[in-house]
Homo-oligomer: A and B are copies of this chain.
Amino acid sequence: MKPPKYKLIAEFIKSKLESMIWQEGYKIPSETELATQFSASRMTARKAVDEMVNLGLLERVPSVGTFVRSILPQSSLLEIKNIADEILSRGHTHKMTVLSKLLLVPNDAIAISFSLQNKNVFKIIIIHFENDSPIQLEERYVNAEKVPFFLQQDFSKITAHQYLTSVAPLTEADISVEAVMPTKILKHNLQLNDNTPCLKVTRSTYSNGQPISYVVLYHPANKFRLTSAYRTAQ
């Protein structure tokens, strides 16, 4: 299984960018030059450049050349925050209760969302309290292979999210947000009235391409808002 040639060229470009040898605004070798350098056809070199352009790392200027783009600090947009820290930063007290802990093989829906099939996962359900009032129900699935000691943690000392990021650095995440009506169980656990909708946040996290955790968070809508700030570069 050898990688295709265009991947090699793309890796070459990436390494130049990572090592900062090619800095912002630098004009990279023309497609013809890259092709010659790698004994490839121009179409193949172009495909490598295509990939980097799609990633937003390079920018083409017709008739002129291809240049290193300025980097946008996009990661700060929706920070993956720790609920304990957030509550403490509001000057409130944080408490949690673990409702259940177990080891299982995920059902289809979870497995597909989480790209884990026929693998063991841990499941844990936690309720978080802010000043003794429930503010979040956390239903979390964790890749048991990658994080074998997950269930042995004392979650009153370290949150699940804190522990996971310490074991496997968070590199990618997919987040989705919906508004839902709570189920009976949810209503009971979050001490909700009849007509209170919930914010449902679903998040899959990955560490270097490996799925680590799939979590569904429910927040009573009258107590919670998800916020995010956006800033362009410069």
Interface residues of A (CB under 8 A from B): 18, 43, 54, 71, 73-75, 77-78, 80, 170-181, 195-200, 219, 221, 224-234
Docked-complex contact B232 and A171, CB < 8 angstroms: yes
Nearest CB in chain B to that of A197: its residue: B197
Given A71-B233, A74-B78, A78-B228, are A221 and B171 also a contact pair (CB < 8 Å)? no
The CA of A227 and the CA of B170, in the complex, are separated in Å by: 18
Collect the chain B residues with CB atoms within 8 Å of residue A225's CB.
176-178
Instruction: With both chains docked as a complex, state the minimum distance between the C-beta of A82 and any C-beta of chain B, in angstroms.
Output: 15
Contact of A173 among B180, B197, B229 (CB under 8 A): B229
Collect the chain B residues with CB atoms within 8 Å of residue A179's CB.
179-180, 197-200, 219, 221
Most buried by B among A54, A173, A178, A233: A178
The CA of A151 and the CA of B179, in the complex, are separated in Å by: 32
The CA of A197 and the CA of B196, in the complex, are separated in Å by: 9
Docked-complex contact B77 and A175, CB < 8 angstroms: yes
Instruction: With both chains docked as a complex, state the minimum distance between the C-beta of A83 and any C-beta of chain B, in angstroms.
Output: 16
The CA of A80 and the CA of B179, in the complex, are separated in Å by: 19
Docked-complex contact A181 and B197, CB < 8 angstroms: yes
Nearest CB in chain B to that of A78: its residue: B77
Collect the chain B residues with CB atoms within 8 Å of residue A228's CB.
77-78, 174-177
